[in-house]
Amino acid sequence: MDAQFWNMKWQKNQIGFHLSAVNPLLVKYFPVLGLQEGARVFVPLCGKTLDIHWLLQRGINVVGVELSQIAVEQLFSELGITPQISHIAPNMLCFQAENVNIFVGDIFTLSRKLLGNVQAIYDRAALVALPPAMRATYAEHLLDISSKAKQLLVTLEYDQTCIAGPPFSVTQQDIQQYYGAEYAIRCLENTSFSGGLKGGTPATESVWSLQPE
């Protein structure tokens, strides 16, 4: 993962990937996860997503990981919460408050022990942020640290020759390759990405249910 690239994006406030509203696919399909209040949900590469606000409002405990400390500081500021900050591992900080725990550092250095038990994963911005060469490693790591927790996964698919990622195009075949051996995969919805990507390149946004087999 190119930490310098993402840190520079946040330093320059070039965060067009940050949505100004809660993702409607999360709102629509979160019930598919079948979670009770108090369940712990992992949000990888979380940035300062408003999806975290929405999850917290529904009594979900959120644990995330994010490269940019700026993003995490802004997240807590916008939540109106003052976190406790601690060094928990080399090159890893933890911002912690009631019901929300965000690690600042490289997800590939996050261990199962540090993450703790989670009942589900919500991946809107992680898989699509990674180039193809890194995605299989990411998927394997995610399975390991989460003990194969069920997932709600959001992806984009488009002609990758038209524009460079991120976000990168992820196909159904890709998802099957990364997760098919461990999960029953079900597409819940495909919808045209409003306005297209980066100047109007047509894209399809999909949401997937990944249930351990």
Determine the average pLDDT of the residues in 184-197: 91
Which has the minimum average pLDDT: 97-106, 149-158, 199-208? 199-208
**Considering the domain boundaries, does residue 193 fall inside one?**
yes
Determine the average pLDDT of the residues in 177-199: 91
**Considering the domain boundaries, does residue 18 fall inside one?**
no
Determine the average pLDDT of the residues in 170-198: 93
**Considering the domain boundaries, does residue 16 fall inside one?**
no
**Considering the domain boundaries, does residue 15 fall inside one?**
no
pLDDT band at 139; cut points 50, 70, 90 = very high
Secondary structure in 3-state letters for the chain: CCHHHHHHHHHCCCCCCCCCCCCHHHHHHHHHHCCCCCCEEEEECCCCCHHHHHHHHCCCEEEEEECCHHHHHHHHHHHCCCCEEEEEECCEEEEEECCEEEEECCHHHCCHHHHCCCCEEEECCCHHHCCHHHHHHHHHHHHHHCCCCEEEEEEEEECCCCCCCCCCCCCHHHHHHHHCCCEEEEEEEEEECCCCECCCECEEEEEEEEEEC
More confident of the two residues 90 and 97: 97
Supply the pLDDT for residue 14: 55
Q: What is the CATH number of the domain that holds 57?
A: 3.40.50.150
**Considering the domain boundaries, does residue 68 fall inside one?**
yes
Supply the pLDDT for residue 6: 62
With a cut of 70, say whether residue 188 has pLDDT above it. Answer: yes
**Considering the domain boundaries, does residue 104 fall inside one?**
yes
Tens-digit pLDDT profile for residues 3-31? 676 667 666 665 555 467 899 999 999 99
Cα gap 75→48, rounded to integer Å: 5
Quote the distance between the C-alpha of residue 145 and its chain's center.
Answer: 14
- Residue 53: domain span: 3-10+23-212
Quote the distance between the C-alpha of residue 194 and its chain's center.
Answer: 20
Supply the pLDDT for residue 194: 78
Supply the pLDDT for residue 21: 84
On whether 54 is known to bind a ligand per the annotation, the reply is no
Determine the average pLDDT of the residues in 46-66: 96
On whether 112 is known to bind a ligand per the annotation, the reply is no
More confident of the two residues 84 and 197: 84
More confident of the two residues 194 and 173: 173
Determine the average pLDDT of the residues in 105-128: 96
On whether 124 is known to bind a ligand per the annotation, the reply is yes
**Considering the domain boundaries, does residue 17 fall inside one?**
no
Determine the average pLDDT of the residues in 122-136: 94
Q: How many domains is the chain built from?
A: 1
More confident of the two residues 14 and 141: 141
pTM of the model: 0.93
Determine the average pLDDT of the residues in 17-46: 91
**Considering the domain boundaries, does residue 47 fall inside one?**
yes
